[in-house]
Amino acid sequence: ISSGSASESSSGAVVIASGKSSSATSGSVEVLAGAGAVGGSVNIIAGSSTGLSDGGDVVVRTGASVSEASGSLGVITADAVESGSVEVGSGSASRGSSGSLTMRTGDSLEDAAGSVALAVGFSASGNGGAVTISAGETTMADQEGGKVSITGGASVDGASGEVIIGS
């Protein structure tokens, strides 16, 4: 499924969507690769720029709700004899700065904001997995390496949040 090419203007968009439902669950959209001796891949790749503009964005967003929670987003590798890895990163840059990576929860106006948990799974027979936080290095003689900052949350009226490091 593709749109036609264009030489003088924008090429056409491709929309794959299920219909709306006013009284029940709307239909799902699934993109599946086939099973085989080697499983097929699913690639989502935005368009490259051939001029002086940025490349295309990839946006994955869950559904909104007017009365309940918005949908959850899961990025999970399948269970297996040895499960696959998950990598989230920005690309390298040849001249400017490479892209930043931000992981944060949304704000809340009437309740506690969501937490961020960074945890390693349980190991039944081997050593426990490590958590490593490293700032960036530099090869320039007159520049500093990156900093690592861990800060408890501020409070307008009460005590600020604690920073607890233990073993």
Split at pLDDT 50, 70, 90, the class of 5 is confident
Predicted local distance difference test score (pLDDT) of residue 3: 86
Q: Is 152 within 8 Å of 160 (Cβ atoms)? A: yes
Predicted local distance difference test score (pLDDT) of residue 68: 92
Instruction: Kindly tell me if the per-residue pLDDT of 137 is higher than 90.
Output: yes
Q: Work out the burial of residue 34: count CB atoms within 10 Å of its CB; fewer than 13 is exposed, 13-18 middle, 19 or more buried.
A: exposed
Give CA separation, 67 vs 37, 45, 64, in Å: 45, 34, 9
From first CA to last CA, the distance across the chain in angstroms is 54
Q: Is 1 within 8 Å of 14 (Cβ atoms)? A: yes
Instruction: Kindly tell me if the per-residue pLDDT of 7 is higher than 90.
Output: no
Residue whose tokens read 């989230």 = 88
Q: What is the mean pLDDT of residues 51-58?
A: 91
For the stretch 101-122, what's the b/e string if a residue is b when 16 or more beta carbons lie within 10 angstroms of its beta carbon? eeeeeeeeeeeeeeeeeeeeee
Q: What is the mean pLDDT of residues 137-152?
A: 93
